[in-house]
Amino acid sequence: MKLNPHIQNILNNSKKDTEWKKEAEERKSVRQESRKSGMIATQLAYFMKTNGISQTDLGKLVGVSPQHISKILKGRENLTLGTIEKIESALKIELIKAVDLEAAQNHSNTDTAFQPQKSSSRILHLGTGSIGVTIEKTRFYGGSMSNPLTPAFVNDSYEEMKQKAIKTAHERYKMLSSPREFNFESEECLMPIVTARNKSRQLKKVWVESEGFISEEI
């Protein structure tokens, strides 16, 4: 398409924004490395606001520069376990919990163990000790678990169990009047998906990886 000279001049004279690209790549790399770190950073930001702690204050307490704290809060650097421990110790708070898998497997009630992070998610109680989430977008990045009670699949049987569970989940799902009642003894489920370009709310298979607790589309 031929543009008029005025518009063409604007295009020709615009500076290239190389800084944005650099920042965006940094943020992408940090997210790919760890999404949980970002969620912990959000909890930290909330704590700082509600307790009037500045980035400089925290930097001094923890022994890192305010710039370092700023980069963490801006999602351009991940929190390491070491830094988390230093923050926990300095602020006398608990940001993460070590899980006791043995104790967890001895309990069956998981209702309070999982906090969904995505706005469109709802908790699904999947019966005996496992939990999943519904998603209304194709991309969902799971949530934090303080007490993962889901049993890990044995590698060889994983696919087989997954397919079997999907089939049963589908049958169960069709019998329900409301997806929110969905209850199933497994880690797979089917639910309506809405994306920016697909509003059909078609049923899609979604499953939850027990170890990393990251749901994904199949």
Q: Total residues contacting another protein (rule CB under 8 A)?
A: 52
What is the rounded CA–CA span in Å between residue 61 and residue 86?
9
Span 131-150, contacts to another protein by CB under 8 A? 137, 139, 141
Residue from the set 81, 82, 119, 175 that interacts with another protein by CB under 8 A:
119
Q: Quick one: CA dihedral 30, 34, 36, 40, positive or negative?
A: negative
CA separation, residue 195 to residues 41, 137, 204 (Å): 27, 5, 12
**Sign of the dihedral defined by the CA atoms of residues 208, 123, 204, 188, in that order:** positive
Cβ 132 to another protein, closest distance in Å? 16
> Quick one: 140 or 207, whose CB is closer to another protein?
140
- From the CB of 58, what's the least distance to another protein, in Å? 11
Q: For the CB of residue 19, give the shortest distance to another protein in the complex, in Å.
A: 7
Q: Is 86 in the site for another protein (CB under 8 A)?
A: no
If one asks whether residue 180 binds another protein (CB under 8 A), the answer comes out as: yes
Residue 98: both structure tokens together: 């070590």
Angle (CA) 163-174-177 rounded to 5° is 140
Contact indicator for 142, 132 with CB cutoff of 8 Å: no
What is the spatial distance between Cα 173 and Cα 50, in angstroms, rounded to a whole number?
Answer: 42
The answer to whether residues 75 and 90 touch, using CB atoms and an 8 Å cutoff, is no
Q: What is the closest distance, in whole angstroms, from the C-beta atom of residue 129 to another protein in the complex?
A: 24
Does 154 bind another protein (CB under 8 A)? Our answer is no
CB of 65 to another protein, least distance (A): 15
Q: How far is the CB of 31 from another protein (least distance, A)?
A: 6
Binding residues for another protein (CB under 8 A): 1, 3, 5-7, 9-17, 19-21, 23-25, 27-28, 31, 38-39, 41-46, 48-49, 55, 70, 73-75, 117-120, 122, 137, 139, 141, 180, 194-197, 199
